[in-house]
Amino acid sequence: MPDPQTAAVAPLDPALMAEIEALRATTHTTRRATVSAMEDCLHVPFPVLDHGFIRVVDYMGDDGAIVQAARVSYGRGTRQVREDRGLIRYLMRHRHTTPFEMAEIKVHVKLPIFVARQWIRHRTANVNEYSARYSVLDREFYIPAPDHLAAQSADNRQGREGVVTGEEAAEVLDILRGDALRCHVNYERMLNAEGDGHDPTRQGLARELARMNLTLNTYTQWYWKIDLHNLMHFVSLRADPHAQYEIRVYAEVLADILGWWVPLTTEAFQDYRVGGLHLSRHALAVVRKALAGEAVAQADSGLSPREWRELWAALGQASSPES
């Protein structure tokens, strides 16, 4: 796990950087629980993609908050019989999720609009997005690195396969840059922004209308506040190797932050959720038969062919012990 004090910092415009430096220079005395690693990374903008970042704005609670909440529901006796790590692992293992909802985090995220539209599908958070009805969006666009220009998968409608290279890749990058720049120039022209070279007496189009011309790789920003339980759900889905690269890199930064914030919970999360396996009733029956030396076959297992393949792949078997 990286150290928050040595992690890369995103380059920002001077005004925002000055604001962040002022925030980091300010300290407060408190009776709240704090985490030294989180104090180190507060307000640090960790770079993501070409112009994006994630910055921790605030957090509430730590591993101890989870233990405290669980002991309220379990009663006084658990204080003598369970250590914190063991209790957290028990909660994670048995899917007792409520104690994990007692800790929260708020982050400032800069991300392309198309990534934001994926991200917002996680409806268990509080979000306040930069308003393009009120302010003008910067001329910043996400342009993929050449090694992330992948072709459409032949058998997965929402997946990638291989890499687009050579003249085709150059053409794609030129299209992405050209379309984004042209649309933003026209956006500014419709707004008649000061200094754009147009008649200053001309009444510009309303910002809420002009924004509809922008491309989806334009960057937006928001504040995102979420509890620990739902943050782990987000990370488990979006940091998965099958997730789209552009959202996965944000989830990977959040996974690092998770480890700095609640190391005992993160250990249990990695063991039981990320690195664990949840079996269906039929899959468990198949495994029991295989362990008992009985012949097992997909046709009478109750599993679909895809479930059958996924089960044996998850168990590290190149092929199933089918009769």
Say how far apart CA 19 and CA 39 lie, in whole Å.
Answer: 17
Say how far apart CA 84 and CA 66 lie, in whole Å.
Answer: 9
Q: Which amino acid is at 87?
A: L
**DSSP per-residue string spanning 233-254:** HHHHHHSSTTS-HHHHHHHHHH
- 3-state SS, residue 136: coil
Cα angle 255, 261, 266; round to 5 = 55
Q: What residues are paired with 126 via a beta bridge?
A: 225
Q: What is the largest CA-CA distance in the chain?
A: 85
Sign of the C-alpha dihedral, residues 293, 294, 298, 302?
negative
Given 32, 121, 238, 306, which residue is catalytic?
A: 238
Sign of the C-alpha dihedral, residues 238, 239, 241, 245?
positive
| 89 in active site | no
Sign of the C-alpha dihedral, residues 311, 313, 316, 318?
positive
Backbone angles phi, psi at 234, to 5 degrees: -60, -50
Q: Which of 107, 112, 106 is nearest to 244 (CA)?
A: 112
By annotation, the residues acting in catalysis are 238
